[in-house]
Amino acid sequence: MKKIVFLTGAGMSVESGLSTFRGSGGMWDEYPVEKVASIEGYIENPSLVLEFYNKRRNELLTVQPNEGHRLIAALEKDYRVTVVTQNVDDLHERAGSTNVIHLHGELMKATSSREPNNLNYVRRLPADNLNIAIGDKAADGSQLRPYIVWFGEAVPMMSDAIDELRDADIFVIIGTSLNVYPAAGLLNYAPAGVPVYLIDPNDVNVSQHRWLNFIKKGASEGMKELVSLLE
Ligand code: OAD
């Protein structure tokens, strides 16, 4: 079976009702990114940051995967599929994708403030108590925090993502402005000769000089077109 690797960003979940980060109406307009999504912001005002992610988590409960997520999951019938996502939502998993790498963490999980990447401390929040409060403790006794990779922190899943791309036959990028590194640099690891598809309703500034099949559509319509191109 051929292997398809996807790289998805916030645009993947727009048709489910979630916001993107950049551009007018984006999340970072309403919430300054340095306050709610950086390690310095967390150290300065942990309760503001916990509140921001509590809100995001409760919002995630109200939305569903869209046709784009479902079409990616359905490709597992005919391809080996790896989804590398910058999204912290769980919509790929809920649509049925079984091999998802979260570069920026997972909203539904919590971890230790002292050792956020120690998997012994990562746990799924219980459905009946999705909020993290000041004073909640991880198993090592430190303050429980969201399992999110913030600006200023390492991206430990990046090496798994690079490994997945090494033997890819097709690479598909959906709904990311490719502004945030190292995720945006993944394109550099697509082996020469591997066709790259880009699905986005807007122009994307791709810094790498590489020929892309640009499908200028939203995630769902774009995935329909990709599926028909692959047939
Ligand atoms: P951005 O908000 O930077 O980019 C979203 C992209 O989605 C843009 O290129 C839009 O044109 C596109 N888009 C909009 N509607 C779409 C639709 N219906 N279908 C498909 N695409 C659509 O989001 P990301 O690139 O994901 O990190 O942002 C990367 C990282 O920056 C995030 O993971 C987050 C953020 O700061 C952290 O919080 C650490």
User: Has 209 been annotated as catalytic?
Assistant: no
**Cα-to-centroid distance, 173 and ligand 1 (Å):** 11
Of 90, 86, 80, 70, which is closest to residue 166 (Cα–Cα)? 80
> Residue 188 in 3-state DSSP?
helix
**Cα-to-centroid distance, 7 and ligand 1 (Å):** 11
CATH 3.40.50.1220 domain extents, the chain? 1-17+65-104+155-231
Q: How far apart are CA 141 and CA 156, in angstroms?
A: 23
CATH 3.30.1600.10 domain extents, the chain? 19-62+109-148
User: How does DSSP classify residue 223?
Assistant: H
* CATH for 1-17+65-104+155-231 (3.40.50.720, 3.40.50.1580, 3.40.50.1220, 3.40.47.10): 3.40.50.1220
Any residues with Cβ below 6 Å from ligand 1, and which? 9-11, 14-15, 20-22, 26, 33, 37, 86, 104, 149-151, 174-177, 179-180, 200-202, 204, 218-219
**Cα-to-centroid distance, 24 and ligand 1 (Å):** 12
Q: How far apart are CA 93 and CA 198, in angstroms?
A: 21
pLDDT tens, position by position, for the chain (231 residues)?
A: 999 999 999 999 999 999 998 887 888 888 888 999 999 999 999 999 999 999 999 999 999 999 999 999 999 999 999 999 999 999 999 999 999 999 999 999 999 999 999 999 999 999 889 999 999 999 999 999 999 999 999 999 999 999 999 999 999 999 999 999 999 999 999 999 999 999 999 999 887 667 899 999 999 999 999 999 999
Strands of the 144-148 sheet, one edge to the other:
123-124, 105-112, 144-148
> Residue 36 in 3-state DSSP?
helix
**Domain 19-62+109-148 in CATH: superfamily?**
SIR2/SIRT2 'Small Domain' (3.30.1600.10)
Index of the ligand 1 atom closest to the CA of residue 178: 25
Q: How far apart are CA 99 and CA 19, in angstroms?
A: 24
Give the active site residue among 69, 92, 104, 209.
104
Q: ω before 182 within 30° of 0 (cis)?
A: yes
